[in-house]
Amino acid sequence: MLAGLVIFPAVFALGFSPSSGPGLVFVVLPAVFNEMALGGIFMFIFFILLLFATLTTAFSILEIVVAAMIKGDAAKRKKASWIAGITVFLIGIPSALSFGVLSDVKIFNLSIFDFADYLTSNIALPVGALFISLFIGYQMKRLEVQKEFETGADPGRSLFKLWYFLIRYIVPIMIILVFLKSTNLI
């Protein structure tokens, strides 16, 4: 939130049209940094920090895939890590090349990178969130959910009842509405 309070006024002050996602990070922000005194240094620091944030997130996401591949057998960990890492790297190559060699390739009138971003942001994330809310609300035992909810704190029984009601009935409806809106179906 603090970054937004700094970035967006700078974008407006310099007369840029704010966009979101990759356009903001890789097009608008470098232009903003170039207008600042010592902007090159700040841009270097920003992108190094962005690299570390990206790598730590990628490692934690890759861990989920590796854990599923090894199924508790630690002897398979190194091999599974390499296989998963190389597979993700290879799948990511077309997105990286969509700014250069593959810039003319379009999927539903989007570049490969933009299509992957749309598919992830507008379809995979809402559908995944819907499945999680349905699983927690209807598959997990209520006592297990309450135990997890209360882990590390004692929020009180009434707060859990409210949260559980929201997870079961309100959250799925809201996620479906967000999904339909993000895919322009409504």
User: pLDDT tier at 18 (50, 70, 90 boundaries)?
Assistant: low
Does some domain include residue 99? no
Does some domain include residue 165? yes
Does some domain include residue 64? no
Q: Is the pLDDT of residue 13 over 90?
A: no
Q: Is the dihedral of CA 55, 56, 58, 59 positive or negative?
A: positive
pLDDT value of position 21? 63
Does some domain include residue 115? yes
Does some domain include residue 66? no
Does some domain include residue 153? yes
What digits encode the pLDDT tens for the residues 120-161?
988 999 999 999 999 999 999 999 999 999 888 888 788 999
Q: Measured at the alpha carbon of residue 177, what is the angle toward residues 172 and 180, in degrees to the nearest 5?
A: 125
The 8 Å CB, 24+ separation contacts for 160-168 are 164/137, 167/133, 167/136, 167/137, 168/133, 168/137, 168/138
Does some domain include residue 52? no
User: pLDDT tier at 166 (50, 70, 90 boundaries)?
Assistant: very high
Q: How many domains does the chain have?
A: 1
Distance of CA 18 to the CA centre of its chain: 20
pTM equals 0.68
The pLDDT of 169-186, averaged and rounded, is: 91
- Asked whether the beta carbons of 66 and 81 are under 8 A apart, the reply is yes
Q: Note down the domain range covering 140.
A: 108-186
Does some domain include residue 168? yes
